[in-house]
Structure 1
Amino acid sequence: MASSPAVAGDGGLADPALDGERLRLCMEAARLGTWDWQLAEGRIRWSDNIASLLGGVPGGPGDTYEAFLQRVLAEDRSRFAQQVAAALEKPSAFDAEFRVYVPEGGPRWMRARARVLAEQGRAVRMLGVLQDISLEKKAEEESRRATDFQEQLLGIVSHDIRSPLGAIISWARIMAAGGPPPEEQQRTFRRITSAALRIERLTRLLLDFARAQLGGGIILEPRRADMHELLQQVSHQFRVAYADRSLVCEKEGEDTGGMWDPDRLAQVVSNLLENALKYSPPDTPVRLAARARKEHVVLEVHNQGKPVPPELMPQLFEPFRSGPQASRTAKTSYGLGLYIVREIVRAHGGTIEVRSDIEEGTTFTVSLPRLPPVAAELMRRPAPVGPGPKRG
């Protein structure tokens, strides 16, 4: 009897082989592996793709439960083990999420779903699947951050921008109606200037934050700049809005110059100076210093007053974290502002540190290489070739 012809498109494979290939494709697309744990034997049989699912871990996940447990991140191991033990004690299905170590990159998120088979009420076998859910966890985190950003943005617009804008409108109406007495006019101008500068700074912070979050990073335009001159320029602008405060600029060493983006560094100085003024007693000076080092230039901004609480120090440069005070204004200054400061400093290849205690006050220290990597890269690029001479 002649054999039956193969179905067109099946590649000549028999049905069982096709079913197996379909299953492997489904498991690969779903980033899914399987296991079969025979409790009496103490061995776990894994699907062929489990090693790649775990990032090519040498030795795979191991053929015992104890070996696999060592692949689980230490912070999640105890919780995961308790879930497994509970499912075995009273035979039942379980669903667990945890992280595992991989040879390269950060830990991967996994989801384990299993069914326990029992004989006479005693667990004898566990069948389960292991799924890589790292992408889903990343999407959840991005969604959460987007939601948090929207909430914070609404707060900034409704309070931190609307308040100074309302002050500008009110004082503008007063000026249009004839203005305050002559002795009050300069104070009124300073209030309007201060409110306008606040709106401008908040708008710029929001734009930079959006760029940083979207992955574009801080864009720099390096050119020759002098740190001490920059401190003097920024402090002069602040003296208009804070006429009653003492700002002291110091210089150590002769050459405090480098190849930086002066506009971006002005943002750094402005944000640090604004924080120093806000969180220091009004009768104390704020000191700014530019210190020359061999390969670096150091910027310091110091103020007296209450120190930054120790529990906030690890999160001080994260977006939307509050500072010494609990007001919304403090959150935007000690959260978004310092986050942008850190990103600008990092873009220059520099570092930023903070020291804060009740005796010495608070000092932010920025160290910048005189020739940041981005500036060195620009200098290595060949100059553009101009048009050649015209031919007659």
Structure 2
Amino acid sequence: MSEPPTKKRTRRPAAPGKTADGPADSPLSSSRAAEERATASPPAVAGDLGPADPALDSERLRLCMEAARLGTWEWLLPEGRIRWSDNIASLLGGVPGGPGDTYEAFLQRVLAEDRSRFAQQVAAALETPSAFNAEFRVYVPEGAPRWMRARARVFAEQGRAVRMLGVLQDISLEKKAEEESRRATDFQEQLLGIVSHDIRSPLGAIISWARIMAAGGPPPEEQQRTFRRITSAALRIERLTRLLLDFARAQLGGGIILEPRRADMHELLQQVSHQFRVAYADRSLVCEKEGEDTAGMWDPDRLAQVVSNLLENALKYSPPDTPVRLAARARKEHVVLEVHNQGKPVPPELMPQLFEPFRSGPQASRTAKTSYGLGLYIVREIVRAHGGTIEVRSDIEEGTTFTVSLPRLPPVAAELMRRPAPVGPGSKKG
């Protein structure tokens, strides 16, 4: 006989106090289960860093602030106190005493030239009240002032500012990059001006006079004058090209290359002045010597360039009926070169930029001509390469005097003398 069919078991709803499969959990077991569920680790998810760690979050924030050269601050206006993050003192270059805990104390850290503008911006933000954003410089114990950017938000109660939260960021590197970019742009513009005018103009004159010479030449009485014009224009191009090459080398970090050997400053002055007497036959050039020994280990070609640039400058900016004086003065460890001319003094506002490249001529207000200032810039670089100094004095009574002081044995020459002599192919080592 066959088995009787199995009856289906129907699952009844659980009675109160019971589960479908047995007795319901007790209140204690339910509480324990809830606690276990709350403390249990969540299922792993790709990219999940796990539970938050306040210590790690604090370290991440510190690293971000350090990388961004950033600090934070909070100004509690009713109390008149400012609370700074721990790294603010290092941002300010380790200022003794830190930035101070009052606004007035911090304001003294702001550079005097920027202080009034900065204070006005702060006052305007508090009066509105509104967001605050300012850039300014601060004093540091050593080195140049640092550029800072302050960003803040003002919180108010009943229309009155009660708190300011903000950040302070060192943007000195950003400002330096902006300045370098600006100088590069200025250089490109000035270079285009030089090529299009200062080189193109004399080059065009040379071409025109060469065509005249090729077509049979000018009348005999004009030939010498034409030759002088061609020579003068060619020398102008050659000189400007040399200045540009020296400038580019100095700007790219290569510096001025020297080949020091024994040279006498007084003899150098006589040689350069003789060349100028040919071109400036109507001018009086006086060479003086003080002391017996005016020699040193220098690069005579570079020093001739120094003398030429200073002498040309003196002739250009002095009355034609006045002499230009050159002097070589012997000192114990140094030799001094002086170039003096009469005439109107250098305007005081031009003094700070006198040796900077691509500036107006040192006395451009007295003449229709202007100069890019490359001559005096190269003079300064050559003098510095010799380990020397250059100064200028200028007033209405005494005129203008450029003074160059050179050590008899510059560091570059001393370094060459310390190097061992090269061993020849046939030499034997001892």
TM-score normalised according to structure 1 size: 0.89
- Deviation track 1:167-224 (CA, whole Å, cap 9, x = no partner) reads 2222222222232333333322222222212111111111222222233322222111
- Deviation track 1:69-108 (CA, whole Å, cap 9, x = no partner) reads 2222222222222221221122111101111122332111
The whole-number CA distance in structure 2 between the counterparts of 1:189 and 1:244 is: 20
Deviation at 1:36, TM superposition (A): 1.6
Deviation at 1:334, TM superposition (A): 6.7
Q: Which deviates the most, 302-311 or 105-114?
A: 302-311
The number of residue pairs the alignment matches comes to: 391
Are the equivalent residues in 2 in contact too, given 1:306–1:324 (CA < 8 A)? no
The 1:369–1:281 alpha-carbon spacing in structure 2 relative to 1, beyond 3 Å, is: same
The whole-number CA distance in structure 2 between the counterparts of 1:324 and 1:132 is: 36
Match of 1:358 among 393, 396, 413: 396
Match of 2:162 among 124, 141, 147: 124
The whole-number CA distance in structure 1 between the counterparts of 2:103 and 2:393 is: 47
Q: Which deviates the most, 25-34 or 302-311?
A: 302-311
- Deviation track 1:255-297 (CA, whole Å, cap 9, x = no partner) reads 2211111111111111112112222333444332222222222
Structure 1 stretches of 5 or more lacking a match?
Answer: none
Match of 1:272 among 305, 310, 318: 310
Deviation at 1:21, TM superposition (A): 2.9
Question: Which structure has the bigger radius of gyration?
Answer: 2
Deviation at 1:145, TM superposition (A): 1.1
The 1:57–1:340 alpha-carbon spacing in structure 2 relative to 1, beyond 3 Å, is: same
Counting aligned pairs with the same residue, the percent is 96
Are the equivalent residues in 2 in contact too, given 1:308–1:323 (CA < 8 A)? no
The 1:283–1:328 alpha-carbon spacing in structure 2 relative to 1, beyond 3 Å, is: closer
Are the equivalent residues in 2 in contact too, given 1:190–1:240 (CA < 8 A)? no
The whole-number CA distance in structure 2 between the counterparts of 1:166 and 1:110 is: 51
- Deviation track 1:298-349 (CA, whole Å, cap 9, x = no partner) reads 2222333333233323322222222365499987647221111112112212
The whole-number CA distance in structure 2 between the counterparts of 1:391 and 1:45 is: 71
The whole-number CA distance in structure 2 between the counterparts of 1:375 and 1:268 is: 18
The whole-number CA distance in structure 1 between the counterparts of 2:255 and 2:261 is: 19
Matched, 1:63 2:92: no
Are the equivalent residues in 2 in contact too, given 1:194–1:241 (CA < 8 A)? no
Are the equivalent residues in 2 in contact too, given 1:321–1:335 (CA < 8 A)? yes
Are the equivalent residues in 1 in contact too, given 2:346–2:363 (CA < 8 A)? no
Deviation at 1:123, TM superposition (A): 0.8
SS for the counterpart of 1:35 is strand
2:35 corresponds in structure 1 to none
Q: Which deviates the most, 22-31 or 377-386?
A: 377-386
1:31 corresponds in structure 2 to 69
SS for the counterpart of 1:363 is strand
Are the equivalent residues in 2 in contact too, given 1:322–1:330 (CA < 8 A)? no
The whole-number CA distance in structure 2 between the counterparts of 1:356 and 1:314 is: 13
Q: Which deviates the most, 125-134 or 82-91?
A: 82-91
Superposed CA RMSD: 3.0
SS for the counterpart of 1:319 is coil
The whole-number CA distance in structure 1 between the counterparts of 2:205 and 2:235 is: 12
Deviation at 1:382, TM superposition (A): 3.2
The 1:378–1:60 alpha-carbon spacing in structure 2 relative to 1, beyond 3 Å, is: same
Q: Which deviates the most, 48-57 or 29-38?
A: 48-57
Deviation at 1:166, TM superposition (A): 1.8
Match of 1:336 among 374, 390, 399: 374
The whole-number CA distance in structure 2 between the counterparts of 1:271 and 1:219 is: 18
The whole-number CA distance in structure 1 between the counterparts of 2:99 and 2:140 is: 11
